[in-house]
Amino acid sequence: MKDAPLDLARLVAQDAEQALRLLHRVREAELTGGRPPVAPRPEIGASWERMARLGVLPDRQGERLEVGIEELEHRRRSSSLGGAKPTVESALTRLAETTAQMVAVTDADGTVLWRTGDAGVLRRAEGIRLEEGVVWGEHATGTNAIGTAIAARKALQVHAAEHFVGALAGWTCAAAPVRDPRDGRLLGTVDVSGPARGFHPSTLPLVASVARLAESDLRERHRAAVERLRSVAAPLLSRVRGRAVVVDPHGWTAAVTGMAPVDRVVLPKSFGAGRLWHPVLGVCTAEPLPGGWLLRVAAERPPEAASRVVLDVSGARRCWVAVSGSAGGWRKELTPRHAELLYVLAVHRTGRTAAELAADVFGDPSRAVTVRAEMSRVRRHLSGVLDHRPYRFREEVEVEVVAPADPSDLLPHSTAPAVLGARRDCLAP
């Protein structure tokens, strides 16, 4: 067996039919424990391993997972991608119609929100359940461009027998994640799918650039919304005594008075009107405004700091951190990278240097600068419970890790050496 993984684009360009046959042989060998003629691409091999752990059956599609009509409409209305949908359609629909393909836009769970494209392909897609309202996450449909792009958090193409489920082997698809420019949160994906014989290597970079174009559109919409909020806030803040800040629903600052300006004030998930304690601002009063919030900062001393942290890494797709203390608490969803970093710090309570964390997460101690940048983002949310030099949870803080029922499922999409080592340790006799 050759050690180097196959070069899909080059192989298809040389002989498309040979490529299809080779991919079928690779898939068959991998599923039966044989020796494939060439290694699958790394992202495909990693996804196949996840499918085996999740119990996805390769010989048939699993039970159809979908949302109802009312839930689908709710997701469409509440998704920020609705604002970018015209941008996606104008960039890709004509291409899809002229090349016998279809375009799909999904949410962060892989649920198809909208689709368009060639009428014949849309009808054929119903046979594999690539329809509006149907979930295309890996857990539901196996290795596919939508679900695997969500899991890997990067644009990728899945061609023919690279799909884990055999029923999808007649298709080729390319998908790219779309992130919220306000906070980096995954919003969903843009996908182009069609018959396998329509594969073209240029589809993936095109889909990736359209996803970036959608993010740029969302960024401009957000800038305009903050400007509108600033115009509302200006006369209001002129009458406020003391410290106050006006933020949009995501915490981005429109205006301040009596305090140093900040780019963003991270709002707790359970945020609402009334008196509250904020880990950075201290005691403040929140008042709703059209398009945002006015936070009046009290002069009194803030209550006792947070004393307990719960790190929930039990889910296959989402991880959370919850912070609580005498003044209440809050909960925040974590990015995959931040989940890895906090897991390492929860295991190593005495702390880790930037170089040690770089080795734990990237396998490369020289990437300390990257770690410092990521930890700076983490500490914006957890400044009350995290120390640095070294990075660690404060001694007085109780830390609980909620792990998956099967330890081998710990952060299943992670390739961090510290996480891989923890999985191996749980399998050791």
| pLDDT over 60 (residue 428) | no
Residue 417: predicted pLDDT: 92
Residue 176: predicted pLDDT: 97
- Report the distance separating Cα 136 and Cα 142, nearest Å: 8
Q: Could you report the per-residue pLDDT of 109-167, keeping only the tens digit for each?
A: 999 999 999 999 999 999 999 999 999 999 889 999 999 999 999 999 999 999 999 99
Which of 69, 142, 157 has the alpha carbon at shortest distance from 110? 142
Please give the structure tokens belonging to residue 311.
């790190």
- Report the distance separating Cα 32 and Cα 217, nearest Å: 46
| pLDDT over 70 (residue 91) | yes
Kind of pairing, strands 38-39 and 2-5?
parallel
Lowest mean pLDDT among 243-247, 276-280, 326-330: 326-330
Q: What is the mean pLDDT of residues 27-51?
A: 89
Q: Could you report the per-residue pLDDT of 74-83, keeping only the tens digit for each?
A: 999 999 999 8
Please say whether the beta carbons of 170 and 195 come within 8 A: yes
More confident residue, 60 or 25: 25
Q: Count the Cβ atoms, other than its own, within 10 Å of residue 277.
A: 21
Q: Which residues of 321-344 are buried (b: 16+ CB within 10 A; e: fewer)?
A: bbbebebebbebbbbbbbbbbbbb
Max distance between CA atoms of the chain, in angstroms, equals: 75
Sheet with 186-195, strands from edge to edge, namely 112-117, 102-107, 186-195, 171-179, 156-159
- Report the distance separating Cα 406 and Cα 423, nearest Å: 10
Q: Which residues of 71-101 are buried (b: 16+ CB within 10 A; e: fewer)?
A: ebeebbeebbbeebbebbbebbeebbbeebb
CA atoms within 13 A on the CB side of 48: 23
The secondary element (H helix, E strand) that includes residue 105 is: strand 102-107
Q: Is 23 helix (H, G, I), strand (E, B) or coil?
A: helix
Please say whether the beta carbons of 81 and 107 come within 8 A: yes
- State the DSSP code for 242: S
Residue 3: predicted pLDDT: 55
| pLDDT over 90 (residue 19) | no
| pLDDT over 50 (residue 1) | no
Q: Could you report the per-residue pLDDT of 190-232, keeping only the tens digit for each?
A: 999 999 988 888 999 999 999 999 999 999 999 999 999 999 8
Kind of pairing, strands 308-312 and 38-39?
unpaired
Kind of pairing, strands 171-179 and 156-159?
antiparallel
Q: Is 231 helix (H, G, I), strand (E, B) or coil?
A: helix
Per-residue pLDDT band for 308 (boundaries 50, 70, 90) equals confident
Residue 7: predicted pLDDT: 72
Sequence-ordered strand ranges (E) for 152-201:
156-159, 171-179, 186-195
Q: Could you report the per-residue pLDDT of 254-268, keeping only the tens digit for each?
A: 999 998 888 888 787
| pLDDT over 70 (residue 410) | yes
Q: Could you report the per-residue pLDDT of 395-408, keeping only the tens digit for each?
A: 888 999 999 988 88
| pLDDT over 90 (residue 14) | no
Q: What is the mean pLDDT of residues 418-428?
A: 78
Place of tokens 């014989």: 197
Residue 49 backbone dihedrals phi, psi, to 5 degrees: -65, -40
| pLDDT over 70 (residue 305) | no
Which of 236, 228, 185, 176 has the alpha carbon at shortest distance from 206? 176
Q: Could you report the per-residue pLDDT of 356-388, keeping only the tens digit for each?
A: 999 999 998 898 899 998 998 888 777 678 888
Give the pTM: 0.70
Which of 186, 168, 170, 169 has the alpha carbon at shortest distance from 178? 186
Please say whether the beta carbons of 399 and 349 come within 8 A: yes
The secondary element (H helix, E strand) that includes residue 113 is: strand 112-117
